[in-house]
Amino acid sequence: MENYIILPGQHKLPPLAYPYNALEPIIGSETVKIHHNKHHKGYVDGLNKAELQLVNARKNKDFSLIKYLENEIAFNGSGHILHSIYWTIMAPLNKKTQIKPLTYNQILTSFGSFESFKEQFIESASKVEASGWGILAWNPAWRRLVILQAEKHQNLTQWSSIPILVVDVWEHAYYLDYQNKRKEYINALWELINWDEVEKRLLLAMQGITPLKKVYI
The residues of the shown chain that bind Mn ion, judged by CB under 5 A, are 39, 168, 170
Please count the CA atoms within 13 angstroms of the CA of 122 that sit on its side-chain side: 17
DSSP state of 135: E
Q: How far is the CB of 132 from Mn ion (least distance, A)?
A: 10
Tell me whether residue 38 or residue 96 sits nearer to Mn ion (CB atom): 38
Please count the CA atoms within 13 angstroms of the CA of 135 that sit on its side-chain side: 27
Tell me whether residue 119 or residue 129 sits nearer to Mn ion (CB atom): 129
User: Nearest to Mn ion by Cβ — which residue?
Assistant: 168
Tell me whether residue 84 or residue 103 sits nearer to Mn ion (CB atom): 84
Tell me whether residue 133 or residue 138 sits nearer to Mn ion (CB atom): 133
Q: How far is the CB of 27 from Mn ion (least distance, A)?
A: 12
Rounded CA separation 83/117 (Å)? 22
Q: How far is the CB of 153 from Mn ion (least distance, A)?
A: 8
53 vs 5, 12, 58, 114, 153, CA distance in Å? 19, 17, 9, 46, 21
Q: How far is the CB of 13 from Mn ion (least distance, A)?
A: 13
Looking at 54-158, which runs of residues are DSSP E strands? 132-139, 144-151
Tell me whether residue 33 or residue 39 sits nearer to Mn ion (CB atom): 39
Q: How far is the CB of 131 from Mn ion (least distance, A)?
A: 8
Identity (one letter) of the amino acid at 104?
Y
**Nearest-CA neighbor of 26 among 92, 79, 81, 107?**
92
